[in-house]
Amino acid sequence: MLKKITFPLIVMTLTAGISTANAANCKDVPSFEDLQSALKSARTEKNGGFNLDMWGTIVNRAGEVCAVAKTGANVGDQWPGSRVISAQKANTANAFSLPGLALSTANLYSAVQPGGSLFGLQESNPVNVTAAYAGDATKFGSAKDPLVGKRIGGVNVFGGGLALYNSAGKLVGAIGVSGDSSCADHNIAWRTRHLLGMDKVSAGVAGDLKDNMIFDITDGKSKNGFGHPTCGVSDEVAANKTVIENAPLSK
């Protein structure tokens, strides 16, 4: 009887310890509730794309997943494959941003093409497939998403991933958004970050636009080396509009 009682208690104690540790590791980034609220609000704006439901993931500076949210009521309301992609984008933006220089996943597109300055980057830091596909799928996008507390890894090189800088300008992690066109993903991530008050970006490769999308590809070549393809006129307008709306917090 003693063994039957003790074992569950040990498991409960270990689980509580993991939850407490994760909460401590994620104290500097937005909570699941804040992410879900901001993501849903951002998705209702004119972001271009197909107006689809979205996945959003936040990682801390150590690359650990702190929250995974969705805008749809059910797991299948968003593209299932985009859950892991949103986590990849968050990992990428965090992994390749610094306190004084933000790189969004959109900024990496041209740089990783053959002949680009970062060619091959997309092959580094592979996804942790064990974490990516483990756990109860009914909990995906909830406060108990199985990715929480794990390092997902992965490098994604199109729009949707942005580093998180708090009100003091400190880099604390990143957000990744996926579920629509790559431009719409970026626009929704941009708006979500603004709503979370985490866009105090000091500098980026886009100059005054910081880490926003750069539409400067002509004949397959980006003028400054960090351009992203256009996804449609409405997407470009939305991307430029987000900069205007967020300018006060981006300076």
Domain architecture of the chain: domains with CATH: 29-250 (3.30.450.150)
Compute the half-sphere exposure of residue 114: CA atoms within 13 Å on the CB side of its CA.
1
**pLDDT tens per residue across span 25-44:** 999 999 999 999 999 999 99
Give the chain's radius of gyration (CA, Å). Answer: 18
H helical segments located in the chain: 2-25, 32-43, 82-95, 129-132, 182-195, 233-250
Lowest-confidence segment of 79-83, 110-114, 242-246 by average pLDDT: 242-246
The whole-chain average pLDDT of the chain stands at 90
Q: Indicate the pLDDT class of residue 22, thresholds 50, 70 and 90.
A: confident
% of the chain surpassing 70 pLDDT: 88
CA–CA separation, 127 and 123 (whole Å): 10
Q: Indicate the pLDDT class of residue 245, thresholds 50, 70 and 90.
A: low
Mean pLDDT within 187-214: 96
> Residue 15 pLDDT more than 80?
no
